[in-house]
Every structure is written in structure tokens, then in C-alpha cells.
Structure 1
Amino acid sequence: MYIVIRKFQPSDHEAVRALFRDGMQEHIIPSFTHAITQPLHITVTLCFFTVGYILGGGSVVLALLAGGLWIGLLYYCCYEHYAGYARSKLNTDMRDIAGFYLSRPDNYFWVAEAKINSRPQIMGIVAVEGKELPDSGQKYGELFRMSVSSTSRRTGLGWRLGQTVINFCKERGFSKIVLQTTSKQSAAVALYYKMGFKPVRTHKQAPWWGLRLVGVSILRMEKILQAFDGM
């Protein structure tokens, strides 16, 4: 399958938004599975079952209800982390992709397109936003919205999209590229390591209590492109 990486076009809008949303929501179940199988959460689940059984006077139904409420809370936290994030971005920069990413010289948005049964289909996306370091005035790029269709994974497309961003940032003389991802997105983290990104900060607990409960770590990674004074 031949895939071309090109500039975003307005006609891509709905397909790009759907790919981004679906890609984020794919992480809900793995995140929930990881959370519910942690020793602490297994213990808490058993405690809820036990308390429900005792308070319900030996009622199995109330025991199941109590345990189910706890399990449901864990799932809700996982769901809101990924689906809520997708909702937020679909209502901000992804609401007007051309206006946000293509109207400024240091921003850009790419799509990876393939023809399947003679019809074009979006197989991947990635974006970059140019920013400026407040202390030095040096420009750097932040990689956003990297997502690859499930049918195009393990084909090297993620690497190609990432390299496209790297080349763009080098051409503009950016000092580095930064990005954020989560510890549960293991495939993405492995790819970024291979491309030369290194972790510079890990938020073991996000401010929202739900993320603390699920235990998702936010990783900030960067790739240095050129040294500058003060480094």
C-alpha cells in the first residue's frame, strides 16, 4: 500500500477528526485493564464486595452492586482521560485545523493518504506548533496529534510522520522538538525513543483525582536539534 504524506486540505476535516478521536479512544480499554488488575485496586474491589455484602445483610446483589460501582468509577476515569481529552481538542485546535495550523508559518498539519479500492483514505496525521522559549527567545516545535490508523501500524508510517515533523523543524532552525504522551501509550513511547526523543519530565500524578486513581503518568519528551547559548 503506497502512502503519501501531504499538507492538510479542508476536505480532509471530518476524516482527520474521526481518526484522531478513534485513536484516542482506543486507549480506554487497555488503560482500564491495567488499572483494574493492579494489586491495590483488586484489594479495594474485594473490600467493596465485602462491605456491600455485610451492609446488605448477606445480599449478593448488594455486594455485586457495591463492587460494580467501584469498577464503574475506574472505567469512568479511564474513559474521561482519553475521550475527554479528545473532546477538548476537537473543540479547540481540531475545530479549525486550517485556521490554527496553516495560517501561521511555524505551524503545520500533515495527513498520510492511501488509495484503497481507488478511493483516497486518511491513514495517519501529525501536526506541529512553533513556540518560543521565554528566557532565550529560541524557537522550538511541539509535536501534536500523532495518530495512525490501525490498518497502517507496524508499517513505518509513524516513523515517517515523526520524521516529517523533524525535517520541518530543522528547516526553520528550531532548537528542539517537544511532545507529551502517556505511559500507557507504549507503542508511541517506544517510537519516540527510537527517533531520539528523551524524557525530560514525568508527572506521576496529574492534578485531577481521577488520573491519580488510574495511575496514568504524563511523559514530556524532547529531541534536541541544535545547541544554543545558555544550554
Structure 2
Amino acid sequence: MQLTIRRYQDPDKETVLSLFSQGIEEHTWPSFKNAMGSPLYLCFSLGLGFTGYLLASGLGALVLVSGWAGLVYYCCHKLYADYVRDRLQTDMQDIAASYMAQPDDCFWVAETVGKGKVVGMVAVVAKKNGAERYGELFRMIISPAIRRTGLGSRLAQTVLDFCKQRGMSKVTLDTSSTQTAAIALYQKMGFKHVRSFTKTHIPNWMMKITRVTIVVLEKSI
């Protein structure tokens, strides 16, 4: 399948928003499995099951473990669903104004040649830290049907080339720790892990339950 990368246009909006929403919310289930499969949560679940069994036999064990699993899933869902909702009400509400109004910002889409179907996206926003100018990569989303075709590398390289041409010193990005494939791709392209944090748009106690951290990567150019 042939793919081309071009700048975003207003007629792309509906498809881009749908791809964005699906691409972010699909991380709910992997995050839930990662949390529940951790040694700490496995031990805690076993402890709850044993306690429930002692209190009310098998039904008590089922209720306690199910309730705990439900809470973990809810927190994971809230992390990603609330992020999508917030973004749809802010920068993604007017993509052209948010990402195309300044010469050092840009939003690209990847589409199939011939059919013209949008199957991927990426954006960059110019930032300043004192005299240093750098780019921050945003909104890297690829349709599941097109993954493992090299499109992710092409989109990331598009950002790197764009920032280099404009004299920026580096490219940075944030991603969640459960997006292991994306992190591996960035690291293969030379991005380095510079820090992690857990403060997000959801309450801190919820973020701790998800066992998700936000990973900051950067590459000098």
C-alpha cells in the first residue's frame, strides 16, 4: 500500500478526530492489563480473594476481586477518555488555528495513494527555553491496519526534518509508559529518555492506581 504524507487540510478534520479518539482510547485495555498483571496487584488481588472467601465464601471473593478490578479499569479508562475529551474541546477543536497558524508549527496527515484515506497523523509546535528553540512532537497516531509498515518512522522523521530546517536544536515528546511499541520506535530513531512524571489531568490517586507514568523523550538535531 502506497502512502503519502501531506499537510493537514480542513476537510480532513472529521477523519482526523475519529482516528485521534480511537488511537488514544485504545490504550485503556493495555494499561489495565499491565496494572493487573503486575506482581503487586496480583498479590493484592489474591489477598482480596482470600479475605472475601473467609468472610463470605466464593461469592465474597468474587465481589471483592471484581470490585478492585473494576476500580483499576475505571481509572485507566478515565486517564485516556478524559484526555480525549479535553483535547477535543481545546487544540483539536480548531486544528488549523492550533497547529498551522505559525510558520514553525505544522500538522501532517498520512493518506493512502489513490483512495485518499487518512491513516495517520503527527504535529509539531515550536517552543522556547530562553534562547533555545526546539520542537515538541504531538498527536502521533497511526491506524491499526497500517502499523508495522514504517509509517511511524516516516511521520517522526517528517517532524525531525521540519525542525532541523527551521534551525531548532531538538525535538521532544511525551508518551505514556504503556505505549511500549511507540517508545521502542522513538528510541530506535535516537530519542533518549530524559525524565518521567505522574502528574496529569486526573487526580493523583487515580494515576497511581493505573501504574502509568508519562515518559519524556528527546532527540538533538
Assess same fold via TM > 0.5. Answer: yes
CA–CA distance in 1 between the matches of 2:160 and 2:140?
13
1:190-209 equivalences under 5 Å are 190-203=184-197, 205-206=198-199, 208-209=204-205
Q: Could you tell me which amino acid in structure 1 is paired with residue 121 of structure 2?
A: I
- Which residue is equivalent to 1:210? 206
Q: Deviations over 1:91-148 (max 9, x none)?
A: 2111110111111112110000114xx5321110000001111xx3221110000011
1:18-33 equivalences under 5 Å are 18-33=18-33
Cα RMSD after superposing both structures? 1.5
Q: Deviations over 1:12-31 (max 9, x none)?
A: 10110111111112211111
- Which segments of 5 or more consecutive residues in structure 2 lack a partner in the other structure? none
- Which residue is equivalent to 2:3? 3
Matched, 1:219 2:218: no
- Which residue is equivalent to 1:131? 127
What is the SS of the residue equivalent to 2:125? strand
What is the SS of the residue equivalent to 1:120? coil
TM-score when normalising by structure 1: 0.89
Q: How far apart are 1:40 and its partner, in Å?
A: 1.4
Q: Structure 1 stretch 205-214 or stretch 160-169: which is displaced more?
A: 205-214
Q: Deviations over 1:40-82 (max 9, x none)?
A: 11222222233334444x4x33331222110001111111122
- Which residue is equivalent to 2:107? 109
CA–CA distance in 1 between the matches of 2:36 and 2:51?
18
CA–CA distance in 1 between the matches of 2:146 and 2:54?
51
- Which residue is equivalent to 1:229? none
What is the SS of the residue equivalent to 1:80? helix
| More RCO (CA 8 Å, sep 6+) | 2
CA–CA distance in 1 between the matches of 2:9 and 2:169?
28
CA–CA distance in 1 between the matches of 2:28 and 2:158?
28
What is the SS of the residue equivalent to 2:141? strand
Q: Could you tell me which amino acid in structure 1 is paired with residue 74 of structure 2?
A: Y
Whichever structure has more helix as a proportion of its residues is 2
TM-score when normalising by structure 2: 0.93
Q: Could you tell me which amino acid in structure 2 is paired with residue 45 of structure 1?
A: S
Select 1:151's aligned residue among 145, 149, 163. 145
What is the SS of the residue equivalent to 2:116? strand
CA–CA distance in 1 between the matches of 2:183 and 2:61?
40
- Which residue is equivalent to 2:14? 14
- How many residues matched? 218
CA–CA distance in 1 between the matches of 2:169 and 2:39?
43
- Which segments of 5 or more consecutive residues in structure 1 lack a partner in the other structure? 226-231
What is the SS of the residue equivalent to 1:173? coil
Query: Percent same amino acid among aligned pairs?
Result: 47
